[in-house]
């Protein structure tokens, strides 16, 4: 392509078109873009004239993309994403540490890893500046694809096309059972037969891992669904069933619940934690540095050492 080719449309016009497509209404799009509706409509008209095709069907109940609009809008979003990447690349050249990275992190990791990772970031100078956003894996994937996140800390490699990732470490799973429960350590997969398994609600990747690892013939899923790991552990303590708990959550959750922690016979029962980002990101070097610090934090937070309090409840004590 000729780099000196003259374009008859602007990035601003592309932004307006994407805003109309997302809002479904010219007035709402104008409000979101902080411009008047006549000004936005005029810019959309100029964009349509430059491209030679109508992009929207206007109606009393809103506006909808035409066939041409549906074909071109993904390219417009891509062009805007690349323009944003160009701006971020320039900022990174001036001072990479001046950038605040927006990183999504899944709820079953965030409260257990972030204390150790935040301490490492505070002790390092200079260090990446991070704004953490707690969200489920699917929401992380969408936000990363849309450019709302710079990276995501999730379990298992990303499904997003074009994403790259670095492994942060392996986190083992443990069974948790109420005091007095007959199940003993170490737990083999077949030992889970005839257990009533408590799981998180839909949307948590830990639920999928638990189903894949433990839902064998004879295992029954409890009708109760927990919204968080603290709730899940308290439900087990109340005798409503058994469950699976990641290693990083053990020191926090078992310290405030009367449950027994039972290791599995295989250290391969667990999940791989990764930091993932878009392959074209301008912050690749900074994100690799963050991945290195996160790897250190995982090694600390997912360690297999049990505290004295966990010994009391987790190693054969029935709470008597």
Mean pLDDT, rounded, for 239-250: 90
67 and 112 together in one domain: no
pLDDT recorded at residue 207:
72
245 and 297 together in one domain: no
The pLDDT confidence band at residue 306, using thresholds 50, 70 and 90, is: very low
Cβ pair 279, 163 in contact under 8 A: yes
58 and 146 together in one domain: no
pLDDT recorded at residue 308:
30
- In order, the DSSP letters of 143-209 are HHHTTS-SEEEEES---STTEEEEEEEEEEEEEEE-TT-S--SSBPGGGGTT-EEEEEPTT-HHHHH
Q: Which of 67, 92, 117 is the last residue of a domain?
A: 92
131 and 47 together in one domain: no
CATH of residue 127: 3.40.190.10
pLDDT recorded at residue 193:
65
The pLDDT confidence band at residue 221, using thresholds 50, 70 and 90, is: low
Cβ pair 310, 255 in contact under 8 A: yes
Q: What is the pLDDT of residues 86-114, one digit of tens each?
A: 887 777 777 677 789 999 999 999 999 99
Determine the Cα–Cα distance for residues 108 and 105; give it in Å rounded to an integer.
Answer: 9
- Does residue 1 sit within a domain? no
Q: Is 280's pLDDT higher than 90?
A: no
Instruction: Give the domain range for residue 74.
Output: 11-92
Cβ pair 113, 103 in contact under 8 A: no
pLDDT recorded at residue 317:
38
- Does residue 41 sit within a domain? yes
């Amino acid at each position: 392509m000729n780099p000196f080719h003259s374009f008859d449309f602007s990035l601003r016009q592309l932004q307006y078109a994407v805003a109309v497509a997302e809002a479904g209404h010219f007035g709402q799009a104008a409000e979101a873009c902080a411009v008047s509706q006549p000004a936005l409509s005029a810019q959309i008209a100029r964009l349509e004239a430059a491209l030679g095709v109508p992009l929207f069907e206007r109606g009393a109940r809103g506006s909808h993309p035409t066939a041409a609009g549906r074909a071109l809008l993904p390219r417009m979003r891509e062009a805007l994403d690349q323009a944003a990447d160009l701006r971020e690349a320039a900022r990174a050249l001036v001072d990479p540490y001046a950038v605040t990275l927006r990183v999504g992190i899944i709820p079953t990791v965030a409260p257990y890893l972030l204390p150790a990772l935040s301490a490492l970031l505070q002790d390092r100078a200079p260090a990446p500046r991070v704004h953490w956003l707690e969200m489920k894996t699917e929401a992380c994937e969408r936000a990363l694809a849309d450019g709302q996140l710079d990276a995501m800390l999730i379990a298992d490699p990303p499904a997003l096309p074009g994403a790259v990732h670095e492994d942060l470490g392996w986190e083992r799973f443990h069974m948790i059972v109420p005091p007095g429960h007959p199940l003993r350590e170490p737990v083999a997969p077949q030992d889970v037969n005839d257990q009533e398994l408590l799981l998180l609600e839909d949307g948590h990747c830990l639920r999928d891992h638990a189903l894949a690892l433990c839902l064998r013939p004879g295992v029954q899923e409890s009708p109760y669904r927990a919204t968080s790991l603290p709730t899940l552990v308290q439900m087990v303590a109340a005798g409503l069933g058994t469950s699976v708990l990641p290693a990083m959550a053990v020191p926090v959750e078992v310290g405030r619940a009367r449950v027994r922690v039972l290791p599995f016979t295989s250290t391969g029962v667990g999940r791989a934690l990764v930091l993932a980002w878009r392959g074209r990101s301008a912050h690749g070097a900074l994100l690799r540095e963050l991945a290195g610090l996160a790897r250190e934090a995982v090694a600390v937070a997912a360690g297999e050492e049990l505290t004295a309090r966990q010994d009391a409840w987790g190693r054969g004590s029935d709470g008597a």
